[in-house]
Every structure is written in structure tokens, then in C-alpha cells.
Chains A and B, each alone.
Chain A
Amino acid sequence: MALKDFRELRLDSMSREFGSLNALKGITLTVARGEFIALLGPSGCGKSTALNCLAGLMPLSSGSIWLDDKRVDTLGPEERGFGMVFQNYALFPHMNVAKNIGFGLRMQRRPKDEIDRRVAEAIRLVRLGAQSEKLPGQISGGQQQRVAIARAIVVEPPLVLMDEPLSNLDAKLRLEMRAEIRRIHSSLGCATIYVTHDQDEALSLADRIVVLRDGEMRQVGTPAELYSRPADPNVAEFMGFRNVLPTTASFEGGLSVTLGPAVLAATAVDVTVPGPAVLAIRPEDLTPRPGGSIRAVVQMAEYRGRDFYGLAVTDAGTELYFRAEARVTPGETLFLGADAPRVLVYKS
């Protein structure tokens, strides 16, 4: 499929207000053709607002959107030519699968044989062969999802917007469709902007992740960057650092932080020493070990197949999420520790 030629999509301090609420505060971002961007954030962070503004379903309060040197935020949704996959799919219930997929091409008044050829191609791409005559109500959620994707991409849009497209699927199907979406994106070469609140989804799909919180961009980076070095404690918490705790940082031959009586060697992300700070550790990096400096009593532990995940409490009453290779039981006393590169320190 040949794509409409473009080099980049540029968001220039895109903002949106609802009355006095700033749902989106000056989003500035450049997306290259072929890139897969995930907009990641908790609910209410403005990620769906951002997507609706990009789609043209919601006007901007200020700022602009550019496709190379063409300004698009002043155009209606029908003039932008972007593809969109809705959270509830929004398939036309009275049209069969092939008619749904061909809708965009019919609106472009393409000749019938071209429509048929391209619809067949799209149906093949999303592997829906036998379903083309069925109505949306007659196929499964996963198949509806594929129809929604095929319908959005068959018009070869420069940009595909996806609004939590996997949130209505069960866990197994979600993993399958995740791989499918990545495969389809690679075979098309369009830019994709994908909204999700699921960090695993964002990490596995995206070339770059944009973390939104309270309508602001908190961090933009590759999945590896976000995973290993979140820019602030909020992002860290969202990226799976469940242990985010106040601490005191000091420098004695190396950065260290205290947790009650315990002292941990740590890695600075953004901190001034000595002084109060915030430390962040993933549960999987906090393990019982010989010489572990944090004394804590297990409150509960759950079996996860290869290992155990649990909650322990220090003498000072601090709750810590940890991982253990061997079985631990509630009431047991552990000596927990973490490797210095896995203990991140931020200024408080």
C-alpha cells in the first residue's frame, strides 16, 4: 500500500480547556512517519482529549497541529484524512464487514473495482477472510477489533489514532492483538498514535512513549529509557516502581539513601545531596538476600509461578513490595536489599 507522502506530524503547544479545567496543557511533539507513539497515563490525564483533538472531534483551545507544512487543526475530522480506531470500535451495525471496511473508500468516490480490490487486501491484512459478509453483531470482539483496524487503514491515512483499542478484550486476545497491531503498523509505514493506560502495552508496542499526567507531558522517551530511568517519581510509580518512599540522600564514596536504620547504595536521577529525597524501587528488584540491610516482616505473599510477590513491613511501619525466589510465609522476617543501579533517587 502506498501512503500519502509526509515526513512528520508536529503538535505545537496543543492545549484544550473545558471551562476552567486545563485538560491539555501545551503538548509539543514531533512524530516522524513510521513511528509508533504511545500516549500513556492514568485515567483523566488528558490522553483521550489529546487523541480527540488530533482527530478533529474536539477543537483546540490554543496551539496548532501540522502535517509537514500544512496546518490541520483548522480542518474538520472529515477533511484531515486520519484513521481512527475507537475504544468501542464504532462499527456501523447495519453494514457487513466488507461494507464497513469499504466505507472510507466509498466516501472518496473511488471506482468499484478499486474498492473491492483494496477491501480484499485489507481483509487479508487483518486475517478476516471468512467473515466479510457478516454483520458486526455476528462476529466476536476480537474480530470486530480487526474490522475497526482494517476500516481505519484501508484509506491509507498518514496517521492512525487508536483509543485504548484493546481494553474491551480478554487477556489472551489482548496479547494476540497487540502483536497484530504492531505487525500491521510495520507493514503500513504510517504513523500511529496509540492511547493506553497499560504500561505493558505501551512498552511492548511503542517506538516512543509520551507519559501524560494532569494534561502535561511528563516524559517522552523510548520504552527502555522510560523503563530504566523515569524522569520523576510520578512517572516512576506509573512505570511499575511500586515502592516510592521519602528518604534522605547522602554522598559518602557513592550515593546512598536511608530507609529507617537501613542504608542503600543508590543511583541519582535528579537529586541534590545531602538532603531529603524520594527513592523508587520496583518490587522485582527488591529481594531477600544475604547482607540485605532492610529488616521487614512479611504481611502477605502471592505465588506467581516462577516466584513470589509480597508485601512486607519494616519496624518503622513502612510498607515494601518485594519479590522472592523461594516461598515466604506471612510473619517471616526478611532482610531485603536491591542493587544500586535499581534504586533510583529523585529530589523530593
Chain B
Amino acid sequence: MSLRASLARQGLDGVTLLVLPAALFIVALFIYPFLYGLVLSFEPKVGGWLANYAKFFSEPFLYTTISKTLLIAIPVTVLNVALSVPVALRVRLIAKPKLLTTILVIPITLGTVLVAEGMLNYMGPRGWFNRALLEFGLSSSPIRLIHNYWGVFLSLVITGFPFTFLLTLSYVTGVDPGLEQAGAMLGARSWDRFRTILLPLLVPGILITFCLSFVQAFSVFPSALLLGEPAGSTRVISIAAYTAAFEEYDASMASAIAMIMAAVQVAIVVALLAAQSLVYRGPAGGGKG
């Protein structure tokens, strides 16, 4: 048998070559820089090949950035997912959700920096928000919502929620509405229907949504810098990497921090996806239609 025929039997033919541009793209812009960074992280300015990693895990100023970042990213993601599920369940019943979807997409398109600028003006000590609170006597002194943990938290909710919500909505609308009707016919009230039918079918989608939202929140940088206290409670890991690269001009150290950052994200995502194997993962539709 000719080589061409035996390749064709494996599903490889001329059309397979069309995958090349995309493959090159990934290699050039993702795999190569990643490997370059990985190698660079093992070539410290001073010391042995593990010196960067040793330094990171021995200096509290550096290693605490992991917990600080997790302390922001995990609650934000939990809140966003927890909010988006009930909202999505309601929105799927709306006949024309286009306007709502558009409104929600706007924060994504505006970007974190614009949202941060807006929050600085709006929620600052002399911003409308605090002035209104004082004016109506709801508070005796301005509430501090920027330049601390809550500033970063809020901005990540504002920019992260639409993304989480749109993903969740796509999973929620993927569940056959006939299943809920069948549940109702069998006497299940709305909470029972959610608990026994919708939730189990949504768990895989919610886990994926959680992973993607978490990765976004974990790499927080602009809002942590603009809205948080970048020397204190919101000194997140990306700020540490930035400092190493552009203030200490230590590209090797910065690479090591980036690698640690990636490792933490991968660890959490893998743990979540492993948990997914414990739940039902089949189609969310009823039988063969």
C-alpha cells in the first residue's frame, strides 16, 4: 500500500496541511515564548539554577503574593459564579435577551483600565458615591472603596461578572427545558427541580466557567495597581513579576515568578477538572429527540 493511502486511512491527507498556519502560530507565539521563559527562569543573575525559585519561596515579600492573589481571585470567582447562575436561570426565560446581553458585554469591551478610572472618580473620597452617602446621611464619613482590597474586589466583579455570566448562560440554555417540565409533571417544585435536575446537569459547565473566570481573576494587574494598595494587601503575583522585570531589570526572576504563577493556576484548574470526573458529564438533553 502506498504511503499516501496508508496516511489517508489514518485520516491524514492534503487537507490536513491546512492545520499548519494555526500550528505555527501557536508554536511561535505561545510555545516558544513559554519555553524561552522557562529556560530563562533557570538562568539567574547570581547563584545556582534554582536560585530564583529559592529566593521567591524564602522572601515573605514575594511568596505572600500567592496567598494575596488567591485571596482576591477565589472569592471574586465564587461570587461571580454564584451570582451568574440564578441570573442566567432567569434571563433564559426572557424572550429577547439581546439588550441585556449587550449591556453586560460593555464592561468587557471597555477593559479593566477604563472601569478602574471610572471607579477612582466615582467611588473616591470626593466622588459621587460618597458624596451621596454623606448627603443623605447614610454614612458619617466617606466609605473607603478604593486603594484597598475592596477596590480590586469590586472592579474584578464588574469586569469579570459579564464574562462569567455569558459563559453560564450558554450552559444554562443548553439544558433541555423539557426536563424541567418533566420534573414539574412528577410533582417537583422549583427548588427541587433546580436541586435534582438543573444543578447536576450544570455542574460540569459551572466548573469550566469557574476555571476560566478564576484564571482571569488570578492574573489581575491593572486594577490591583490602580485601585488597590500595590505595596500591601493587593500586592498580587503579577505585580511582583512586573517589579522584577521592569524595576529590578531581572528578566530571569520575572520569568521564574511567571512560571510559579502558571503552576498555581494549573494546580487549581487541574484539581477542579479532576473533581469533574466525579459527576455526570453526558449531554444535558433528554434522550434521542
Contacts and interface: CB of A to CB of B under 8 A. Distances in A.
A88 B187 contact: no
A103 B188 contact: yes
Given A93-B282, A94-B282, A168-B289, A83 B197 contact: no
A141 interface: yes
A91 B183 CA distance: 9
Interface residues of A, number: 34
A90 B188 contact: no
Contacts of A136: 286-287
A78 B188 contact: yes
Interface string B196-207: 110011000000
A76 B178 CA distance: 16
B176 to A, nearest CB: 7
A93 B280 contact: yes
Interface centre among B187, B280, B285 (most CB of A within 10 A): B187
Contact of B184 (A78, A88, A92, A141): A78
Interface in B150-206: 176, 178-179, 181-189, 192, 196-197, 200-201
Nearest to B175: A93
B198 to A, nearest CB: 10
B191 to A, nearest CB: 11
A89 interface: yes
A142 B179 CA distance: 19
Contacts of B185: 55, 57, 77-78, 82-84, 152
A151 to B, nearest CB: 7
B96 interface: no
B288 A88 contact: yes
Contacts of B179: 90, 92-93
Contacts of B215: none
A77 B288 contact: no
B284 interface: yes
B186 A90 contact: no
Contact of B286 (A57, A83, A84, A93): A93
Nearest to A168: B288
Contacts of A93: 179, 201, 280, 282-287
Given A90-B287, A91-B287, A104 B186 contact: yes
B181 A141 contact: no
Given A88-B178, A90-B176, A90-B179, A107 B284 contact: no
Interface string A67-105: 000000000111101111010111111100000000110
Interface string A40-70: 0000000000000001110000000000000
A136 B288 CA distance: 9
5 contacts: A81-B187, A88-B178, A93-B280, A93-B283, A151-B182
Interface of A: 55-57, 76-79, 81-84, 86, 88-94, 103-104, 106-108, 135-137, 141, 144, 148, 151-152, 155, 168
